Structure 1
Amino acid sequence: MDNNHKKRSNPDNSRKTQRTFAFQVLYALNFVPGTDSLEKTYARFQNESSPALWGEGSFSWSLVHGVWKNFDDLNSIIASYSQNWKIQRIAKIEITILRLAVYEMRYCPDIPLKVAINEGIELAKIFGDDSSRNFVNGILDAVAKDIKNGKFGISKGF
């Protein structure tokens, strides 16, 4: 096999695919009441998707669980950057994207800030409306600059 025909890895294992899956689970959680909603919602998505996306220890599960566990902290961070917008007024798609991207910036040291921002913008392009991308980008850029400067007790680069 020459270099032009390298074997591709399973696309279900890519972080982009797993991040999209995590977004879909987290978005659905906006509409599911109850304390056991995380496990039930995740299980429902497990039944509808490839096992590579949701296996124990998968990237998607770590994102979903991490966002859920740090929900209040993420909302607080987002609220402090969303001038004139209360969390309750931000559309479900945008708030879900913001929670996911801010989680990656704040709690995933192996994910560069630029990657978290770019992936958030890509999700906004796919799932949001025409204004979603700019709104998401503005907030994520501001959060990233503060993280780069050591706010939140961490510092990481773009």
Structure 2
Amino acid sequence: MSEQHASPADDAQPSSTKPAGRKPGKSASKSARSRAREFALQALYQVIVGKNEAADIDVFTRDLSGFHKADSAHYDALLYGCAEQSLELDKLILPLLDRSMAEISPIERAAMWIGVFEMKHCLDVPWRVSLNECIELAKEFGGTDGHKYVNAVLEGLAPQLRPHEVQADRQAGRARA
């Protein structure tokens, strides 16, 4: 699958409109990529819980309020890529778990799928951006401490999936210290 997306800077560009239904104090500025991840997370939840086909979920998801503000190409890559590669993604995640995959919340699992998929296939997205975005998804949609689990698993896989980028970040961190 070829991933041609907007630049990583798109992940940091604020919008000036406030999304409806957000908790007070939550950042109202979300990039089109962040919105794509949110919609993909919701769709992947249906893949995991409802055992629905990605194409059926896609039709429903595109009709949801606010979808027009999402990066639809990135959403497509995440939904279809994660659904098609779910077994491969689970094989990468499973060794880092301290429990069975069945005991993992569907939200946490979907967030981990998104992070692993982006680290493997969306090389224009820096690994730290993907990690942070998936942590935020788990905080917003998941259980109380689910984001800590997502963080641990994705940070554990990053050196395997993005070795050069992680190494460069570590060296830059040491240089600043």
Q: Same fold (TM over 0.5)?
A: yes
1:22-61 mapped onto 2 (5 Å cutoff): 22-33=40-51, 37-50=53-66, 52=68, 58-61=73-76
What secondary structure is seen at the aligned counterpart in 2 of 1:63?
A: helix
* CA distance in 2: counterparts of 1:95 and 1:12, whole angstroms: 22
TM-score by length of 1: 0.79
How well do the aligned residues superpose, as a CA RMSD in angstroms? 2.4
1:53-83: CA deviation from partner (whole Å, max 9, x where unpaired): 578x62111111111121111000000111x
Segments of 5+ residues of structure 2 without an aligned counterpart are: 1-14, 18-28, 170-177
Q: What corresponds to 1:143 in structure 2?
A: 157
Partner in structure 1 of residue 112 of structure 2: 98
Given the alignment, which residue of 80, 94, 97 partners 1:79?
94
Change (3 A) 1:95 1:114: same
* Pairs aligned (count): 143
**Contact 2:47–2:83 (CA under 8 A) maintained in structure 1:** no
| Structure-2 residue corresponding to 1:18 | 36
Q: For residues 141 and 119 of structure 1, what CA distance do their matches in structure 2 show?
A: 13
Kept in 2: contact 1:53–1:60 (CA 8 A): no
Q: List runs of 5+ in structure 1 lacking aligned partners.
A: 1-7, 150-154
The CA distance in 2 between the partners of 1:129 and 1:156, in whole Å, is 30
8 Å Cα contact 2:40/2:75 also seen in 1: yes
Alignment of 1:68 with 2:86, yes or no, is no
- In 2, the alpha carbon distance for the partners of 1:33 and 1:63 equals 17
Aligned identity (percent) is 25
TM-score (norm 2): 0.71
Structure 1 range deviating more: 111-120 or 43-52: 43-52
Is the 1:20–1:123 Cα contact (8 Å) retained in structure 2? Answer: yes
Q: Tell which deviates more after alignment, 130-139 or 44-53.
A: 44-53
Paired with 1:93 and 1:58, the residues of 2 have a C-alpha distance of 22
Shift in Å, 1:51: 5.4
